[in-house]
Structure 1
């Protein structure tokens, strides 16, 4: 008799949970996927396992993790170390940190103002915020584009979590109005990621 996995990955369809689900499915992690709404009707129920009341959350019998990067590190260690290779962990971490503080930080603002605000808030996107984020995105995209001119993937010869993390906002590029047109190497690199089923459609078959 087969049994459902005891580990649960709680997720939503938003930017960071999308990355966590893509990682788990790419690594074929033995987890059960549960769509959740901890910012809404399930808020108090989720507070004991994540005081931030946000997803993603990975719940194992003896460990609970509630940040995308920590979840990715855990799943790579359990399922396929080459996705966060121990010999190159600092290089992967460099790109994870750069994404969080620079490239995806700027892209995340455009994602929020152009996608989340119209959906959930009774206001228009903040033009000043959008202008500043657009400028930041272009600045950091130029750095990424130059880097990718000389390599196929960010770390090594195969996709790693560095690629998944830095590309976090790119699946939302059209709707978030990310200015990718000048950056041919970024567009080529993300097209490669789109060839990976788990990245292109992480929610296939899920709610």
Structure 2
């Protein structure tokens, strides 16, 4: 199996999940929008995005689907398949539509945009994203009160997915100190090698 990745937000989650599961994949760093690779990569993923998991007979794109597949192959409950599955999917859906939308906006405009553009970002975009981040981080903070992990009493993919933007909190200006339960929870994640340093040893 090959896992095509870059070092951006969603591919980072996929690589972290694969390494946490000790998945037997070959990691291939890819820039599918590079004109040198764009045409060839379209046959792997017509969206021309990473991450992509390529197996002998089929291909999966999107970090959530990839982690689901790798967890099943590993026989792990990292991707829940029991009565906790619905709650895990609730968190995945919630962060995709709310917390990570705000966090990824701040990540992009604070960290990525300056690498290819000198144009000033509309402050209204950043202000709205920050308001949304604070709103949803507050909800997450309340839900984490008295809890170690988001789902049940052990880590799940929901923890990785909800924390997508948090490794970049300092550079993106995410105010984690305002949310002590979120900060505590992410410090637990940070103690996991696969989450803290998913690209160690990769190019």
TM-score, L = length of structure 2? 0.97
Whether 1:91 and 2:74 are equivalent positions in the alignment is no
Q: Which residue of structure 1 aligns with residue 44 of structure 2?
A: 49
**2-structure distance, mates of 1:36, 1:122:** 25
Whether 1:149 and 2:140 are equivalent positions in the alignment is no
Corresponding residue SS for 1:9: strand
1:118 aligned residue (95, 100, 114): 114
User: 1:117, 1:124 within 8 Å by CA — same for their partners in 2?
Assistant: no
**1-structure distance, mates of 2:116, 2:152:** 40
**2-structure distance, mates of 1:159, 1:80:** 15
Structure 1 residue ranges (4+ consecutive) displaced by more than 2 angstroms after TM superposition: none
- CA-atom RMSD, angstroms? 0.9
Unpaired stretches in structure 1, ≥5 consecutive residues = 1-6
User: 2:21, 2:76 within 8 Å by CA — same for their partners in 1?
Assistant: no
Corresponding residue SS for 2:2: strand
2:17 aligned residue (17, 20, 23): 23
User: 1:27, 1:80 within 8 Å by CA — same for their partners in 2?
Assistant: no
| Deviation of 1:42 (Å) | 1.3
1:36 aligned residue (30, 41, 48): 30
**1-structure distance, mates of 2:124, 2:75:** 43
1:181 aligned residue (146, 169, 177): 177
**2-structure distance, mates of 1:39, 1:157:** 41
Q: Which string of whole-angstrom CA distances, capped at 9 and with x for unpartnered residues, describes residues 13-34 of structure 1? A: 0000000000000000010000
2:5 aligned residue (11, 26, 30): 11
1:137 aligned residue (128, 133, 152): 133
User: 1:82, 1:160 within 8 Å by CA — same for their partners in 2?
Assistant: yes
**1-structure distance, mates of 2:109, 2:122:** 7
TM-score, L = length of structure 1? 0.95
**1-structure distance, mates of 2:116, 2:51:** 20
**2-structure distance, mates of 1:78, 1:92:** 19
**2-structure distance, mates of 1:30, 1:126:** 44
Question: Which moved further from structure 2: 53-62 or 34-43?
Answer: 34-43
User: 1:83, 1:160 within 8 Å by CA — same for their partners in 2?
Assistant: yes
Aligned residues: 201
User: 1:118, 1:124 within 8 Å by CA — same for their partners in 2?
Assistant: no
